[in-house]
Structure 1
Amino acid sequence: MLNKKNILGIIQDHQDQIEVIESELQRAKHLDLDIPDLTIVARKELSYLYENKARFEMQARAWGLVKEESE
């Protein structure tokens, strides 16, 4: 369950997963590996992670756990 104690950890976990997936997609591209079904799955997972990370960051800002980016 999402709460003030774990939200920053969840945000970091999402960022870590995003970095791993993006790295693997780049590696596959560099190796000329084209597996459309896997690429689609990876991109859907990235979309899910980015959307949730943005929502969690917004909630963390609302709770005052992180500062606004412009501050």
Structure 2
Amino acid sequence: MLDKKNILGIIQDHQDEIDQLEYELEQARQWCMLESVKSLSNRLSYLKDNQYRYKLQAKAWGLIDKAEV
């Protein structure tokens, strides 16, 4: 469950996965792996959207600065 105690960890976990997927996406593009590119792009979009929402909530709780969102 999302709460003040774990939201920053969730945001960091999302960032770690985003970084990994961006690397994998670049590799898939270089090798013209169209199915993989689409799948990775969808997952990346999902994670970025969720991370943004979590950052907004963390900002509302006063856990992060406006500049971090």
Where does structure 2 lack aligned partners over 5 or more consecutive residues?
none
Percent identity, please: 47
1:50 aligns with 2:48: yes
**Aligned-residue CA RMSD (Å):** 1.4
- TM-score normalised according to structure 2 size: 0.90
Determine the C-alpha separation between the residues in 2 that align with 1:39 and 1:27.
Answer: 9
Runs of 4+ in 1 over 4 A off after TM superposition: none
Count residues in correspondence.
68
Q: Deviations over 1:29-64 (max 9, x none)?
A: 3xx311211111100000000000000000000000
- TM-superposed deviation, 1:27: 2.6
Determine the C-alpha separation between the residues in 2 that align with 1:52 and 1:60.
Answer: 12
Determine the C-alpha separation between the residues in 1 that align with 2:14 and 2:3.
Answer: 16
Higher Rg of the two aligned structures: 1
Determine the C-alpha separation between the residues in 2 that align with 1:5 and 1:40.
Answer: 34
Higher relative contact order (CA 8 A, sep 6+): 1
Determine the C-alpha separation between the residues in 2 that align with 1:44 and 1:27.
Answer: 16
Any conservation in 1 of the 2:8–2:58 contact (CA below 8 Å)?
yes
- TM-superposed deviation, 1:25: 1.6
Where does structure 1 lack aligned partners over 5 or more consecutive residues?
none
Determine the C-alpha separation between the residues in 2 that align with 1:34 and 1:67.
Answer: 39
